[in-house]
């Protein structure tokens, strides 16, 4: 089976207010290392990923495996900030920035042949062992000779699925075309 498997969802939102992160380490589920990065983090045992909070009020959810989970974790972080008087209550509007998924086509690929035939593709084995294939939308496929690969850059499940279908069709056409 050559299904795609979500590895990471990156979502953002803006609290539209400054957040003071200096005392994050004094609260449960909050942390920061201001000597290393000028941001704070929220993470508890039930969260799959974690949420990064910047002094500007912008937040990033990373590490979840579904869009709903990513939005849920941003909402949880927003509520926790409010409960601990770091922010005023606000309706957040999460935005999906990147969906990262892996796939296995269950067949070996001739990467050099695909590199010659796929438009908008790049293969430089001295730099990277996979073929980079830029698709029509924001999605990029990283293809390896094993038939495994990654899709990155999708902003919705529809875009991810459409890109995967486009990828399989493009490979099929290139594979069956004579030299």
pLDDT of residue 177: 54
82 and 14 within one domain? yes
Specify if 148 maps to a domain: yes
What is the C-alpha to C-alpha distance for residues 96 and 91, in angstroms, rounded to an integer? Answer: 16
Specify if 3 maps to a domain: no
Where does a domain end: 70, 97, 124? Answer: 97
* Percentage with pLDDT > 70 across the chain: 97
Confidence tier at 173 by pLDDT (50, 70, 90):
confident
Given a cut of 70, is residue 67 above it in pLDDT? yes
93 and 119 within one domain? no
Which range of residues forms the domain containing residue 123?
105-176
Where does a domain end: 97, 127, 158? Answer: 97
The edge-to-edge listing of strands for the beta sheet with 4-14 is 30-32, 40-42, 50-53, 58-64, 4-14, 95-104, 148-154, 140-143, 131-134, 121-122
Specify if 2 maps to a domain: no
Given a cut of 60, is residue 53 above it in pLDDT? yes
Q: What's the number of domains the chain is made of? A: 2
- Any idea what the CATH number is for the domain that residue 34 is in? 3.30.310.10
């Amino acid at each position: 089976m050559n299904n795609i498997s979500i590895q990471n969802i990156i979502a953002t939102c803006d609290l539209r207010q400054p957040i003071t992160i200096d005392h994050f380490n004094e609260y449960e589920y909050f942390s920061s290392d201001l000597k290393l990065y000028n941001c704070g983090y929220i993470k508890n045992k039930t969260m799959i990923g974690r949420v990064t909070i910047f002094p500007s009020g912008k937040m990033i959810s990373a590490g979840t495996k579904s869009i709903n989970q990513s939005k849920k974790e941003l909402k949880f972080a927003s509520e926790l900030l409010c409960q601990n008087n770091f922010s005023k209550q606000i309706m957040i509007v999460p935005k999906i920035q990147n969906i990262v998924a892996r796939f296995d086509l269950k067949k070996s690929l001739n990467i050099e042949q695909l590199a010659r035939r796929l438009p908008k593709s790049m293969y430089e084995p001295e730099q990277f062992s996979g073929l980079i294939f830029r698709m029509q939308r924001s999605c990029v496929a990283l293809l390896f000779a094993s038939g495994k690969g990654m899709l990155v850059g999708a902003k919705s499940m529809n875009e991810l699925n459409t890109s995967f279908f486009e990828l399989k069709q493009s490979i099929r056409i290139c594979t069956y075309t004579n030299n």
